[in-house]
Amino acid sequence: MQLNLVKNMADLQQALAGLRTQGSVGFVPTMGALHAGHASLIKLAKERSKNVVVSIFVNPTQFGPNEDFTKYPKMLEKDMETAKAAGASLVYAPSAGDIYPEGFSTSISAGNMNKILDGAFRPGHFDGVATVVAKLLLRVVPQVAVFGEKDYQQLCVIRRVVQDLDLPVEIIAAPIMRETDGLAMSSRNAYLTPEERKTAPEIYKTLCETVKHIKAGMPHRQATAEGVDKLSSMGFKVDYLELHDAATLNSIESLERPARLLVAAWLGGTRLIDNIAMG
Ligand code: AMP
């Protein structure tokens, strides 16, 4: 199958007009530096649609002033190959000016999500995500859009945006793709030094151990505190390791409803996130 590249809204609309005559459109928004995790999303979208559009846009408004926006890896040619192999028909790689033209001033607030987990540690992050994803969904107007559980809170934010703003799209969640040693695949893993890369899988091991302890009856706050101690002793600086309601991400006391154990921790200058289902 042929893979086309467009870089602005006019060319996107023209390409989409052609794709829509062929059937349904699926959409996978990304920031590029595509890996097997992204490819799994594209494949999932392809199972559900005739054509898949992949966006590649490192969105400046979702990065804080001291975050990694300027050093975020960029490799459009390689990404095109990955997207093509996974079954995409169109890559939309807009400039910042195409997404945020002169005078742009409206944004969507992620509301309560700004107060919990990553929302609390990355002020403005989810407003940036909500706004850019809403814009992309309104430009592409796909029947389905696929997001990874790797960014679990982001998935919850998107589900809320789509529900609250009546966006006519079905959101599909894709499971986390991992390296063979358990580390969740991430474009940011490229920042890790060889030494840090050896330590990084401990984050997933700790998630699994913490789940085991909670299932064995240990109070979840005790289990997560032990997990934080373990990660800290191995050199991580933990932002949070917490159990939350899987749908609302509210704090929970007991395991009566599906829950999600989520972690964010720094290893040197790299911030890693991961999560696992419970109950
Ligand atoms: P990003 O390029 O990091 O913004 O990610 C784009 C999409 O790919 C998001 O929906 C992510 O949740 C998803 N994603 C990233 N890494 C993984 C992974 N290891 N497994 C599954 N989905 C992923």
Instruction: Encode pLDDT of 100-140 as tens digits.
Output: 999 999 999 999 999 999 999 999 999 999 999 999 999 99
| CA separation for the pair 218, 91 (Å, rounded) | 48
Q: CATH 3.30.1300.10 in the chain, residues?
A: 187-278
Question: How remote is the CA of residue 217 from the centroid of ligand 1, in Å?
Answer: 32
228-258 pLDDT, tens digit per residue, is 999 999 999 999 999 999 999 999 988 888 9
* Residue 135 Cβ < 6 Å to ligand 1: no
* Residue 144 Cβ < 6 Å to ligand 1: no
* Residue 275 Cβ < 6 Å to ligand 1: no
pLDDT of residue 174: 98
| CA separation for the pair 156, 142 (Å, rounded) | 19
Tell me: domain 187-278, CATH 1.10.3720.10, correct?
Answer: no
In the CATH scheme, what is the code of domain 4-174? 3.40.50.620
pLDDT of residue 254: 83
- Mean per-residue pLDDT for 91-103? 98
Mean pLDDT taken over the chain:
97
Asked whether 210 and 192 are in contact (CB, 8 A), the reply is no
- Rounded to 10°, the helix 125-140/152-164 angle is 60
pLDDT of residue 256: 83
Q: CATH 3.40.50.620 in the chain, residues?
A: 4-174
| CA separation for the pair 231, 204 (Å, rounded) | 10
Asked whether 35 and 187 are in contact (CB, 8 A), the reply is yes
